Structure 1
Amino acid sequence: MTHSAINTSSNTQTTAKPNSQAWYGPMFSPEHGVYIVLLVSFLIGAAASQAWRLSTTLALICAFCGFQAEHPLVMQIKQRRTLKPRFLFWGGLYAVIAGGIAIWLYLSYPVVLWIYAGALTALMIDAFSVLQREQKSVLNELITFAAVCLATPFAYATTTGMISSTVVGLWILNTLFFSSAIFTVKLRKTKTSSVIPGTIYHAVATLILAFIYWLGWLSPAAVLAFGLALIKFGIIAVNQEWYRTAKIQFAAILETTTAFAFLTIVSLSVLPERLISL
Structure 2
Amino acid sequence: MEFQQLTLPQTDVSQPPPQLTAPSALATNATLLPSQSGGGSSYGSHHRNHYHPHHGGSGKPGHPYFKPFNPGGFQRPFGMTQDDFDGKRLRKSVMRKTVDYNASIVKALETRLWTRDHRDRHAPQPENIYVPELLPPSSYLDNPSNAVTTRFVKTATNKMRCPIFTLAWTPEGRRLVTGASSGEFTLWNGLTFNFETILQAHDVPVRTMVWSHNDSWMVTGDHSGYVKYWQSNMNNVKMFQAHKEAIRGISHSVLSY
TM bin, normalised by shorter chain, reads under 0.3
Q: TM-score, normalised by structure 1?
A: 0.17
Rg (Cα) greater in structure? 2
* More RCO (CA 8 Å, sep 6+): 1
Q: TM-score, normalised by structure 2?
A: 0.18
Q: Report the structure, 1 or 2, having the larger strand content.
A: 2
